[in-house]
Amino acid sequence: MDKPAEPEKVTCAVCRAEIPKAAALHAEGKDYVYHFCDAACFEHWDKEKEHGPEKS
Ligand SMILES: [Zn+2]
């Protein structure tokens, strides 16, 4: 029953950084769970989701 030393990693949906799954924020889409490395990335994604991509 050995557990791997490496924690499972996921990729941030915004900046593509790899983070440990246990430390990631996540949001559920229709058929998919999105992971985020921190609150800033989550907010970025959440804004785009609500308002669509914006060009400034
Ligand atoms: Zn990120």
pLDDT at 5 over 70: yes
From ligand 1's centre to the CA of 17, what distance in Å?
6
List the alpha helices (DSSP H) in 1-56: 39-51
Q: Which residue has the tokens 């400034």?
A: 56
Entry pTM: 0.73
Instruction: Spell out the residues 6+ positions from residue 27 whose beta carbon is closer than 8 angstroms to its own.
Output: 33, 34, 36, 42, 45, 46
CB 22 within 8 A of CB 7: yes
Domain architecture of the chain: domains with CATH: 9-51 (2.30.170)
Ligand 1 centroid to residue 24 C-alpha, Å = 9
36 alpha carbon to ligand 1 midpoint, in Å?
5
pLDDT for 35 equals 96
